[in-house]
Amino acid sequence: MISTDANSQQNRWKHLHKVLTKSGPYCDEDWVPGQETISALESSKILVIGAGGLGCEILKNLALSGFKDIHVIDMDTIDISNLNRQFLFRQSDIGKPKAEVAAAFVEKRVKGVKITPYVGKIQDKDEDYYMQFKIVICGLDSIEARRWINSTLIGMVDMEDPESLKPLIDGGTEGFKGQARVILPTLSSCIECQLDMHAPRPAVPLCTIATIPRQPQHCIEWAHQIAWQEKRKDDAFDSDDMEHISWVYNAALERGKQFDIHGVTFQMTQGVVKNIIPAIASTNAMIAASTTSEVLKIATSCNPYLENYMMYAGEEGVYTYTFEAEKKPDCPVCGNLARKLKVDPNSTLGDFIESLSERAEAQLKKPSLRTEEKTLYQRFPPQLEEHTRPNLGLKLHELVEDGEEVAVSDPAYTIDFRYKVIFSK
């Protein structure tokens, strides 16, 4: 009985085992193929962050790449708009936690794999938790979560202990485009080094929204940001509540009529207030498989891994570009130099703080700032906030020297970001 089972296992994985038991022309010369490699694969504990469009694919791909011990974290529940691509979910699963449904589905379908779900935030877990994994693979739509896990894994690296270095494989998609990247914490370019390659969309100026709308999107922003505050202050706006979206839609329609602006639709309203990014199964499949492929290569050394970035654009044929993103010595997370930040010395500290959320190289929403000598602005605790608030109206040149270093902290991240303030002339 045992031998039959072993036979069946051998037959089941015969395609995969061929590339693990035979060397190839692109493998490292020192690589030893064989049973040891197969065991290394089967004993590698992998963490998947995100059980959405990429995560569903990644879980399936890992299970069918021979990994046996997989963990998955996701805080979300299943929504109807997930069903066009998140293929482990059905109509009857709407409202259930993604991590649990996805894990159970793949475990049932692929014999011998163990998938442990955790429904919650990555921030709930500490270093001891992340230390148990061999590789971390991310399929996220949030830059903030990526930056958090990136800085956490970099903070865990102990030069004396090679096991403390957890390769981070990251995938992301938007419409027909996407990217896959491999990060070896402290050794190669990290998420933070590459932050300016993923700049946020510029926000519409508030005065346009408030007084001179020209586009249907401006009307929607007005209804969402201003009208709601005026008329429904006591209801916390929930972008998943259809009644709330409908209210904003109707308010935006009215505003459009008033200014003779056409084109406000329900779909556009949802898109603007939820910041919806188009997503399809095929792009997710391509990117998820690229990331899993790198996990397989890193776990087994059966071929060289990606160094370190592959971007994909599918609107015009199949276009990919593979390159090595540079590790930046002034990266606030993995570098040891402060990052230069050009500022207008005559702008106020308040304006500067506001600009940090939009500047591609910072993207910090709730920053607190201090120099070596003094606290410029501190959000918590309230007494300190009150004490430092007057600084917001002061000009930068009244607070810092040209070239001075400023440490910025933000509640979303565990680390301080170091910037060197350079005055523009």
Task: Give min distance, CB of 19 to other proteins, in A.
Answer: 6
CB 165 within 8 A of CB 131: no
Contact characters 158-177, other proteins, x per CB under 8 A: -----------------xx-
Q: Which helix (H) or strand (E) holds 356?
A: helix 349-356
199 binds other proteins (CB under 8 A): no
12 binds other proteins (CB under 8 A): yes
Question: For residues 290 and 171, what is the distance between their CA atoms, to the nearest angstrom?
Answer: 8
Buried b / exposed e over 302-331, threshold 16 CB at 10 Å, is bbebbebbbbbbbeeeeeeeeeebebbebb
Burial (CB < 10 A; 0-12, 13-18, 19+), residue 218, is buried
Tell me which of 24, 200, 329, 393 binds other proteins, using CB under 8 A.
24
Catalytic residue among 27, 207, 219, 334: 207
210 binds other proteins (CB under 8 A): no
* Binding span for other proteins by CB under 8 A among 109-117, 119-127, 231-239, 384-392: 109-117
Burial (CB < 10 A; 0-12, 13-18, 19+), residue 98, is buried
Which strands form 339-343's sheet, in the order they lie side by side?
A: 339-343, 417-423, 405-409, 368-371, 375-377
Q: Which residues inside 314-343 make contact with other proteins, applying CB under 8 A?
A: 314-320, 322
212 binds other proteins (CB under 8 A): yes
Residue 32 vs 80, nearer CB to other proteins: 80
Tell me if the bond preceding 275 is cis, omega within 30° of 0.
no
Residue written as token pair 């200014």:
259
119 binds other proteins (CB under 8 A): no
**Is 193 annotated in the active site?**
no
34 binds other proteins (CB under 8 A): no
153 binds other proteins (CB under 8 A): no
365 binds other proteins (CB under 8 A): no
Task: Give min distance, CB of 81 to other proteins, in A.
Answer: 5
CB 167 within 8 A of CB 136: yes
Distance from the Cα of residue 245 to its chain's centroid? 26
35 binds other proteins (CB under 8 A): no
Q: How crowded is the C-beta side of 412, counted as CA atoms within 13 Å?
A: 16
Question: For residues 385 and 263, what is the distance between their CA atoms, to the nearest angstrom?
Answer: 43
* Binding span for other proteins by CB under 8 A among 14-22, 159-167, 229-237, 398-406: 14-22
Residues in the chain: 425
380 binds other proteins (CB under 8 A): no
296 binds other proteins (CB under 8 A): yes
Burial (CB < 10 A; 0-12, 13-18, 19+), residue 1, is exposed
80 binds other proteins (CB under 8 A): yes
Number of residues that bind other proteins (CB under 8 A): 83
CB 392 within 8 A of CB 353: yes
280 binds other proteins (CB under 8 A): yes
Tell me which of 294, 376, 399, 410 binds other proteins, using CB under 8 A.
294
Task: Give min distance, CB of 229 to other proteins, in A.
Answer: 21
Residue 307 vs 416, nearer CB to other proteins: 307
* Binding span for other proteins by CB under 8 A among 9-17, 41-49, 164-172, 386-394: 9-17
* Binding span for other proteins by CB under 8 A among 34-42, 155-163, 164-172, 269-277: 269-277
234 binds other proteins (CB under 8 A): no
Q: Where are the alpha helices (DSSP H) in 71-215?
A: 98-109, 127-131, 143-156, 206-210
237 binds other proteins (CB under 8 A): no
Q: Write out the catalytic residue numbers.
A: 207
